Amino acid sequence: MDSGGRAHGDGGALIVELALVGLVLFLLVFGIIDLGRAYALQNRLTNASREGAAIAQFKPSSVNTGCNSGNNVVDRATAEDTGLASTPGFSVTVAKKSNGTTTNYTGCNSVVGTTVSSGDTIVVTAKANFSVLTPLIGSIVGNTITVTRSTEVVVQG
C-alpha cells in the first residue's frame, strides 16, 4: 500500500463521498439560481409599480380612466415590462388611501364617482408568482411563491 494513496477497494467509498458532496453542490448551485431569479422578478415588479405610480403622481386623471387602453395606471405599469404580462399570477392593482379608507381601482370598470385629487395617496402594487426550481427549497417554502412590490406616492397635480 502506498502511504500517499488509498488502499485497494476504496473506490466505492470515493463514489459515495462524491455523491454526497455532489448533492450538496447541486442544492447550493440551484439555490443560488433560484435566489437570482427571485431577485430579478422582484426588480421587474418594482419597476412596474414605480412606472404606474409615476403616472398617477403627476396625472391623477389617469388613475381611473375606465377602459381607455394605455391611458390608465394599470396599463402603464404593465407596459413597463411586457414580459411580466405572461408571468403566472401577474396583476397590478391601484388603491387610493384617504382618511383611513382605501378605494381599489382596476383600471377598467373601476369605482365610479370617486375622484383622485392633489394630496391623495396612491398605492400601486404589482405581484406575480415565482416557481421554485430547487426541490429542497420548494418542499420548505412551497413550489410557488407570490412576489409583491408596492410603490406609494402623493398626487402632485
- Rounded distance between C-alpha atoms, residue 82 and residue 140, angstroms: 31
Largest CA distance in the chain: 90
Number of domains in the chain: 1
User: Which residue has better confidence, 73 or 115?
Assistant: 73
DSSP 31-45: HHHHHHHHHHHHHHH
Which amino acid appears at position 41 of this protein?
A: L
- Picking from 93, 111, 80, 109, the residue whose alpha carbon sits closest to that of residue 150 is 93
Q: Does residue 1 fall inside a structural domain?
A: no
User: Which residue has better confidence, 70 or 35?
Assistant: 35
Residue 112 has what pLDDT?
53
Q: Does residue 146 fall inside a structural domain?
A: yes
Q: Does residue 54 fall inside a structural domain?
A: yes
Q: 10 Å Cβ neighbour count for 114? A: 12
User: Which residue has better confidence, 76 or 138?
Assistant: 76
Q: Does residue 82 fall inside a structural domain?
A: yes
- Picking from 36, 124, 37, 126, the residue whose alpha carbon sits closest to that of residue 81 is 126
- Percentage of the residues of the chain whose pLDDT score is greater than 90: 21
Q: Does residue 15 fall inside a structural domain?
A: yes
- Rounded distance between C-alpha atoms, residue 151 and residue 38, angstroms: 19
User: Which residue has better confidence, 3 or 74?
Assistant: 74
- Cell numbers at residue 129, please? 408568482
- What's the whole-number average pLDDT of the chain? 81
Give the DSSP H/E element, type plus range, for residue 111.
Answer: none
Structural domain boundaries, residue 64: 11-154
